[in-house]
Structure 1
Amino acid sequence: MFQRFVFTFALCLATSTALVSPSLANGSGPLQIYVSKADQMLTVYDGDQIVATSKVSTGKAGHTTPSGVFSILEKRKYHESNLYSNAPMPFMQRLTWSGIALHEGKVPNYPASHGCVRLPAGFAKSLFSMTERGAHVIITDDPVAPRPLSHSTLFVPRIPVADGQLLSDVQLRPTTIDASLKPVEVAMNQLPPKAGASASLILEEDEPALRILITRRSQREQVFDVQRLLADLGFDIGIPDGLMGSKTMAAVKGYKRWKSIEKDGAILSPVFLEALYTSAGKGTPPAGQIMIRQQFKPLFEAPISIANPELALGTHFIEATSVDRFKGKAEWRSVTLENHLPAQAMKRLGITTPADDQSVFSVEAALARINMPGDIRAKIETMLSEGTSITISDMGLGMETGDGTDFITVTRPVPRG
């Protein structure tokens, strides 16, 4: 997924910059870039191996560089700032469309930029040659490092079966046959293959990596489901659009009168949602949503279950390497990021306990609480490729995530003292 080069640092390169092991720059896995604002240091990882480090200069007071999970959206060998008097930004690698980027610039031993991450001249050019669009950049206050992760909830790569080959798409009717009965004829909606037929499968060598976000459901997703369920029960909600319009409001109020739950607080209260899902025979309202992007574009999304939704999940970043669909294996590495939820956000999300203690709210603990439909899991696993990443976050889609981006997660430090 990412270009690799064996490169040599010029003698004029700053002494604070180093290529740790030239041989590692030829690895086959995706690169990850970590920036520590506390140390003013950038570290490039190939898996769990450090391949390069450099001093940097992040945002000064009043122009703080945001922390969180980003990816390289655009690369230009020369760019001029649209915000700060056409200031030159050589070897620019954009992280947000609002103006945050990696680029060459003056690097004192303290934060001095207007929000970007400045790199020494020689290193900026070398890093530019190592990366491609989509490479992840993790910016934190204190330094963090990826570690190997194994968990049953993680996806297992599988080989997709092409449509029409063998019996992969043949629908049998009836769906159950009592073995004690006499032989019966089974109707098929397509002919099975002839004896001795074989299936062929062509896998794309460089299939674009998936970007996966596991998060809380937003009001838009809740409203859309409410509209669909109310319509199934015979209420007039107009056109399902995820918006709480006048027809939807009237339908919700009508349902509440029907079930005698009119005085239960918020319009989409837990009592109302539980009753509606029960009436529709849909079980418990889902607390989570999984969203998938590929090549900076939305692909699909689906509701998922989150156990104990009153507890925060925390913020975690996970990436796959050594993906082998023929062997059904992948290696995963993860990092947990500090991300404090404001009281107002916790109330809106129905969270009573924040994930400020990372020893308790680990990535393993978050994965253990997540359950997704089998068909969604299977669809993702047949598309799994090198560099596929998963971000787990309570906050959902932030303002920086939009057209032409991966999932961008901006984090907040825990208040001190």
Structure 2
Amino acid sequence: MFTRVSLGIAFATSMLFATTAMATDAPLQIFVSKDTQSLVVYDGEQVVATSNVSTGKAGHTTPSGIFSILEKKKTHFSNLYDDAPMPFMQRITWSGIALHESGSVPSYPASHGCIRMPRKFAKTLYQMTKRGFHVVVSDRKIAPHTITTAELFKPRFPHPSPQLLSDAALRPAMPSDGARIEVAMAETLPKAGATAVATLPQKIAPVRVLITRASDTDRAATIQAMLNRLGYDAGPVDGLHGIKLRAAIKAYQDLHGQKPSGEMTQQFVASIYKVMNRKVPTGWLYVRQNFKPIFDGPVEIADPEIALGTHFFTASDVNAAQNHVRWHGVTLDNHIPDKTARRLGITRPAESLASDAAERAFLRIGIPDDMRERVETMLGDGSSITITDNGTQHETGLGTDFITITRKAPRG
């Protein structure tokens, strides 16, 4: 992580800074508000720096949502707009959205989608950030606050795997009758006067967690795995409803007295989950690290008919030895169209304006113990959790963290 020095830049009309006298290794977060055309850099809840910006104009609106810095270039030229210069470019999507310096930063939206910043501020911000730092773009001004619920992930060391006796060193011991025997020891004893030193794990890269509703692809992959385990050849577990999966479903349906359609009918799904003694998953948890997928699996959403909303949590001061972490969270506005709500089985909106909306959303997620433990052993400073109904979206892909695009509610 990078270390900051005190910021001593004077207040100006185009750029305002909140100074800090304390150096820290904590990662920063960047919040951009489209309604106030402003940018605020946070360390936890502490404001580190602020600036005016200019976001996308009508027809080229800057997308709102949760992003991270994917690429940084001091010298860059636009691939879309006549090689326009974009100094101190910090990319947040591979489709062309970035923060960058501009000589024109009016107090209203004027760009083609990027976030324009004054020259001096753009250079300073570039020096403060690293790839992977989060950027939150919102339609109205929001700010992170401390999250104290005990249910959030807490860092821990992984349980050491037990050492097999065949791999242990043999040391002599003398029983009371004087006969010599060999006793298996887990490790070699230190010499007299030696000092034992515990070696703690090195700092690890931040982990990104996305919790959302189970998708059709997730359900198909789960059913493929179950069919394969039952002896049907459903093909590779890739979530694709291909020829092998259809044939396996037909064979299962025929054996269980169902119409052999090859489709994942409600009757078929209920039957196979009952046979496997498992619950049909309502939610899914995905994990990424260093811009790559690590693992994923099913979770349970309590009251799934109520929208989760969109919430974002970040971790700092992570200390696995003390099981300590500081979490900060924020809730974003995110409109779900009626058609999407029906597809997701949502009949009631989320209470996104409540002060504890983020905490309450997390408390609705039932995470299996093995999955929770795996996440907690991977936590590092800057780790994050996104909760949303929207799932993974088209901007999330190779070389990205989870990117969540939010929608503004239509007027009226």
CA–CA distance in 2 between the matches of 1:159 and 1:357?
34
User: Are residues 308 and 196 of structure 1, via their aligned partners in 2, closer, same or farther at CA, if it must alter by over 3 Å?
Assistant: farther
CA–CA distance in 1 between the matches of 2:327 and 2:76?
35
CA–CA distance in 1 between the matches of 2:359 and 2:7?
37
SS in 2 for 1:276: helix
Structure 2 counterpart of 1:110: 108
SS in 2 for 1:402: coil
CA–CA distance in 2 between the matches of 1:204 and 1:374?
25
Q: Which runs of 5+ in 2 are unaligned?
A: 166-183
1:349-391 Cα offsets, whole Å, 9 max, x none, are: 2222232643398112211111112122112212211111001
**Residue 384 (structure 1) aligned to one of 370, 379, 389:** 379
**Conservation of the 8 A alpha-carbon contact between 1:5 and 1:130:** no
SS in 2 for 1:23: coil
CA–CA distance in 2 between the matches of 1:311 and 1:252?
31
CA drift of 1:233 comes to: 2.9
**Residue 274 (structure 1) aligned to one of 259, 270, 274:** 270
User: Are residues 327 and 239 of structure 1, via their aligned partners in 2, closer, same or farther at CA, if it must alter by over 3 Å?
Assistant: closer
CA–CA distance in 2 between the matches of 1:218 and 1:74?
29
SS in 2 for 1:415: coil
SS in 1 for 2:322: coil
Structure 1 counterpart of 2:175: none
What is the TM-score when the length of structure 2 is the normalising length? 0.87
**Conservation of the 8 A alpha-carbon contact between 1:339 and 1:356:** no
1:307-337 Cα offsets, whole Å, 9 max, x none, are: 2222221110000111111111111000001
Aligned length: 389
SS in 2 for 1:85: coil
**Conservation of the 8 A alpha-carbon contact between 2:8 and 2:19:** no
**Conservation of the 8 A alpha-carbon contact between 1:208 and 1:294:** yes
CA drift of 1:218 comes to: 1.9
Structure 1 counterpart of 2:176: none
> 2:289 aligned with 1:291, yes or no?
no
What is the TM-score when the length of structure 1 is the normalising length? 0.86
Q: Which runs of 5+ in 1 are unaligned?
A: 172-189
**Conservation of the 8 A alpha-carbon contact between 1:162 and 1:201:** no
Q: Which amino acid aligns with 1:33?
A: I
**Conservation of the 8 A alpha-carbon contact between 1:14 and 1:120:** no
User: Are residues 350 and 260 of structure 1, via their aligned partners in 2, closer, same or farther at CA, if it must alter by over 3 Å?
Assistant: farther
**Conservation of the 8 A alpha-carbon contact between 1:148 and 1:332:** yes
Alignment of 1:16-415 (within 5 A): 16-23=14-21, 26-105=23-102, 106-163=104-161, 168=162, 192-193=186-187, 200-205=198-203, 207-260=204-257, 262=259, 267-281=263-277, 283-355=278-350, 357-359=352-354, 362-415=357-410
CA–CA distance in 1 between the matches of 2:345 and 2:263?
15
CA drift of 1:169 comes to: 5.2
CA–CA distance in 1 between the matches of 2:326 and 2:157?
17
User: Are residues 28 and 296 of structure 1, via their aligned partners in 2, closer, same or farther at CA, if it must alter by over 3 Å?
Assistant: same
Q: Which amino acid aligns with 1:4?
A: R
CA–CA distance in 2 between the matches of 1:335 and 1:169?
44
Identity between Structure 1 and Structure 2 (%):
48
Between 1:344-353 and 1:105-114, the stretch displaced more is 344-353
**Conservation of the 8 A alpha-carbon contact between 1:79 and 1:89:** yes
Q: Which amino acid aligns with 2:312?
A: F
CA drift of 1:15 comes to: 1.6
CA drift of 1:238 comes to: 3.5
CA drift of 1:83 comes to: 0.3
**Conservation of the 8 A alpha-carbon contact between 2:249 and 2:260:** no
Q: Which amino acid aligns with 2:219?
A: Q
1:229-278 Cα offsets, whole Å, 9 max, x none, are: 223333332343321112322332443454455499x9434443222111
Structure 2 counterpart of 1:176: none
SS in 2 for 1:22: coil
CA–CA distance in 1 between the matches of 2:60 and 2:335?
20
Structure 2 counterpart of 1:4: 4
User: Are residues 328 and 267 of structure 1, via their aligned partners in 2, closer, same or farther at CA, if it must alter by over 3 Å?
Assistant: same
